[in-house]
Structure 1
Amino acid sequence: MTTQVTLTRPQKAAAILVAMGKPSASRLLKFFKQEELKALIEGARLLRTIPQSDLERIVAEFEAEFTEGAGLLDSADRMDTILNESLSPEEMSAIMGDKRFEVAPEGPPPIWPELEKLEPTRLGAFLAGEHPQTAAMVLSKLAPQAAANILLTLEKPMRSEIIKRMVTMATIPDTATRIIENQLRASVLAQTATKDISAGQARVASVLNEMDKPQLEEVMQDLEEAGTPDLGGVRSRLFAFDDLPLLTQKARVLLFDGLSTELITLALRGAPPGLTESVLSAIGARSRRMIESELGQGSEGIQLADIMGARKNIAVATIRLSREGAFELPSSSQQSEAA
Structure 2
Amino acid sequence: MAAASQKSHNAEIESLVASLAARQNAGTEKHRALSGPERAAVLMLALGEQYGGKVWSLLDDDELRQLSITMSSLGTVQAEEVEGLMLEFVGRLSASGALMGNYDATERLLQQYLPPERVSGIMDEIRGPAGRNMWEKLSNVQEQVLANYLKNEYPQTVAVVLSKLRPEHAARVLAILPEELALDVVNRMLKMEAVQKEVIERVENTLRTEFMSNLSQTRRRDAHEVMAEIFNNFDRQTETRFMTSLEEANRESAERIKNLMFTFDDLVKLDNGSAQTLMRHVDKDKLGVALKGASEAVRQFFLSNMSSRAAKMLVDDMQALGPVRLRDVDEAQALLVNLAKDLAAKGEIMITKNRSDEELIY
- The normalised TM-score by structure 2 is 0.37
CA radius of gyration, larger in:
2
TM-score calculated relative to the size of structure 1: 0.39
